Structure 1
Amino acid sequence: MSLSQFTSPWWLLFLLVVAALVAGYVWVQRQRHKHTLRFTNFALLEKVAPSRPGRIRHIPALLMVLALVFFSVALAGPTEDKRVPRNRATVILVIDVSLSMKATDVEPTRLAAAQDAAKSFADGLTPGINLGLVAFAGTASVLVSPTTNREATKVAIDNLQLSERTATGEAIFTSLQSIETLAAVLGGSDQAPPARIVLLSDGKQTVPENPDDPRGGFTAARQAKEKDVPISTISFGTSYGKVEIEDERIPVPVDDPSLREIASLSGGSFFTASSLEELRDVYDTLEEQIGFETTRGDASRPWLVLGVLSATAGLILALVLRQRLP
């Protein structure tokens, strides 16, 4: 623990006083021992007090010294990192509803599993977070503007409908616009809460084909980085997924590389999930990352408790062993 982790580190200088007290105690004990050896009639002492307190008599003093050490540290104001729920934050949950999401490589289907996990994610977020919902296929739509009303979001998740094509870039641009709208309502970007986009998809962007296009996913991710909005991407599905379209089974493998790149360009995190259980684990991790923040908080209470317990034990032992206070 460094001095920067104390609010009043100068109180640690009191430990020098404690050290001086220990040295004084040792000196007094040695002087007393010398006087005892010089003037005591040992034969008479054995008859009067055959059993004398040994080193155990020093325990009360030792406990009192420990109490002073603990109190000194407590007065110095130690601090520690504490995880506390966020009071304000904005999260846009983005779900891919392209036709590939009806693949059954994830039971019962990719979309059904995504809906189940998304509702659990909504329930698990801390109450102070504004949660919005964006669905995308060939276009992107804000189904629920950022709100603390979880029921509205869960109802919208239940009503997701599949459609053709995949416009990942449009989904990100739409999410950024929703975040900016909330910031304007709250009084400007300077007062806006921190924001993050959580994007779940299974396939490669098809509209436009080039992710570096002005409306492409990579371009949108770079803009998210400029706006300090990290994107956590979730690649959901397997490499062997297939869907049946017009009596033809079409392979729809997940596209990890592009989703990983979007997360990297935006300063976010990339996750993979190939089952409902894995997806729930991913969302649990995101809930911890998004719903809580780390702050420096007071950590003096344990030291105060140790000081009180040590001082109390020292006083009790002094009365029991020596019938007087140290």
Structure 2
Amino acid sequence: MTFPEFRSPWWLLFAAVAVAVAAGYVLVQRWRHRNTLRFTNLALLEKVAPHRPGPKRHLPVALMVVGLLLLAVALAGPTAAQKVPRNRAIVVLVIDVSLSMQATDVTPSRIAVAQEAAKAFADDLTPGINLGLVAFSGTASVLVAPTTGREAVKRAIDHLQLSERTAPGEGIFAALGSIDTLAAVLGGSDQAPPAHIVLMSDGKQTVPESPDDPRGGYTAARLAHDKGVPVSTISFGTRHGTVAIENERIPVPVDDDGLREIARLGGGSFFTASSLDELRSVYDTLQEQIGYEITRGDASRTWLVAGSLFVSAAAGTGLALNRRIP
């Protein structure tokens, strides 16, 4: 159970009014009861008024006290966590287009499924976010600079071309460059707009040989982390994938370990997927993480409405039961 935070907590002292009303009512009732016993002929009272007021007579005051307590909370300005769409944020989708992506262990092929899921991600991403696209194999290219338009991104996804070798570091470096460029253009704030890189790959880095090389994946992930840009990775495919190269079947298993380490160093999340449904699920999770932020917003309206209803009910029941407003 979580308790609300308040913008003006001193207004909670208004609850003392509700406590005073309740205490005063109890004291008055005791005083009346004591005077009745002291000065009234009980035998005569039993004949004149055999039906004494029931517990319902206390209902208006009880409603009034609850209503005042609710109004005290409303006046204190309670806040609650709210999911708000991000604006001005930048997301760069970095997709592996090495030859291993033509493997058919994911039907009809890794690249075809990746394209379908990536386009769905582009469609579902919060409209105010700038989305860019980078493709990498042995080198990387910024196919679409981050923009709020989605059609250019989807067209570029449809026309991805496979090539030799795998250099995830180059993909991350290219994404960081496009983020820096757009951040400089947007300006207008002391803080750079929030950014996130989503890298999807299926194989082990082949260029350069070591991921810790100055242009390697681990080095790029560290740089992204230093810049405050999380790098989330998706390991897509299975360990049984193969591709035909010069009439020879070459194994192309996914590299979970390498991509997990890039995500760890980059301060992002690591995901695995081996089917279209799983890949869509991963993108849905990323959409929730990237597309929205949790902020604290005003939550006083509910308390104000409830308090007003209770006070109104107190007045109504007071007139109906006791012929007076409590």
Q: TM-score scaled to structure 1, two decimals? A: 0.96
Whole-Å Cα distance in 2 between the matches of residues 257 and 188 of structure 1?
40
- For the residue of structure 1 that corresponds to 2:222, the secondary structure is helix
Q: What amino acid is the match of 1:292? A: Y
2 CA distance for matches of 1:311 and 1:181?
58
Q: Does residue 46 of structure 2 align to residue 46 of structure 1? A: yes
Q: Secondary structure at the match of 2:114?
A: helix
Residue in 2 that maps onto 1:147: 147
- Partner residue of 2:210? 210
CA contact (8 A) 1:183 1:191 kept: no
- What percent identity do the matched residue pairs reach? 72
- Matched-pair contact (CA < 8 Å) for 2:90–2:130: yes
**2:319 equivalent in structure 1:** 319
Structure 1 match to 2:159: 159
Which runs of no fewer than 5 residues in structure 2 stay unpaired? none
Distance 1:83 1:239 in 2: 38
Query: In structure 2, what residue type is equivalent to 1:181?
Result: T
Whole-Å separation in 2 of the counterparts to 1:96 and 1:203:
9
Shift of 1:39: 2.4
- The CA deviation at 1:295 is 1.1
Moved more, 210-219 or 48-57: 48-57
Between 145-154 and 235-244, the greater mean CA deviation after superposition: 235-244
| 1:110-129: CA deviation from partner (whole Å, max 9, x where unpaired) | 11111111011001111110
The separation in 2 between residues aligned to 1:64 and 1:130, in whole angstroms, is 52
1:237-256, aligned counterparts within 5 Å? 237-256=237-256
Deviation at 1:186, TM superposition (A): 2.1
**For each residue in 1:255-298, what CA deviation from the matched residue of structure 2 results, as whole angstroms up to 9, or x when unmatched?**
01110111111111111111110110110111111111111111
How many pairs were matched up? 325
Matches within 5 A, 1:88-167: 88-167=88-167
Q: Which residue of 2 is the match for residue 172 of structure 1?
A: 172
Contact 2:225 2:266 in 1 (8 A): yes
Offset, 1:190? 4.1
Residue 294 in structure 1 maps to residue 290 in structure 2: no
What's the CA shift for 1:57?
0.9
In the TM superposition, what whole-angstrom CA distance separates every residue of 1:27-61 from its partner, at most 9, and x where no partner exists? 10000011111222333333333322211111110
The code of the aligned residue for 2:114 comes to A
Whether contact under 8 Å (1:180, 1:189) holds in the other structure is no
Task: Give, in angstroms, the shift of residue 191 of structure 1.
Answer: 4.5
Answer yes or no: is the 8 Å Cα contact 1:168–1:216 preserved in 2: yes
8 Å CA contact 2:17–2:68 kept in 1: the answer is no
The answer to whether the 8 Å contact 2:18/2:66 transfers is no
2:17 is aligned to 17
Q: Residues 102 and 110 of structure 2 are in contact (CA less than 8 Å); yes or no, is this contact kept in structure 1?
A: yes
Cα deviation, residue 20, structure 1: 2.1
Q: Which residue of 2 aligns with 1:271?
A: 271
* SS of alignment partner, residue 294 of structure 1: strand
**Could you say if the C-alpha distance between residues 23 and 187 of structure 1 is closer, same or farther in structure 2, counting changes exceeding 3 Å?**
closer
On the 8 A contact 1:201/1:235 being kept in 2, the answer is yes
**Cα distance between partner residues in 1 of 2:103 and 2:45:** 95
Q: Please state if 1:221 is matched with 2:221.
A: yes
Work out whether 1:185 is the aligned partner of 2:189. no
Supply the distance in 1 between the matched residues of 2:38 and 2:242 (Cα, whole angstroms): 99
TM-score normalised by length of structure 2: 0.96
Root-mean-square deviation (Å): 1.5
Residue in 2 that maps onto 1:195: 195
Q: Is the 8 A contact 2:88 2:128 kept in 1?
A: yes
> Is the partner of 1:204 in helix, strand or coil?
coil
Displacement of 1:306: 1.2
Letter in 2 for 1:271: F
CA distance in 1 between counterparts of 2:99 and 2:189 reads 37
> Which amino acid in structure 2 is aligned with residue 165 of structure 1?
R
Q: Is the 8 A contact 2:66 2:307 kept in 1?
A: yes
> In the TM superposition, what is the alpha-carbon distance from 1:2 to its structure 2 partner?
6.6
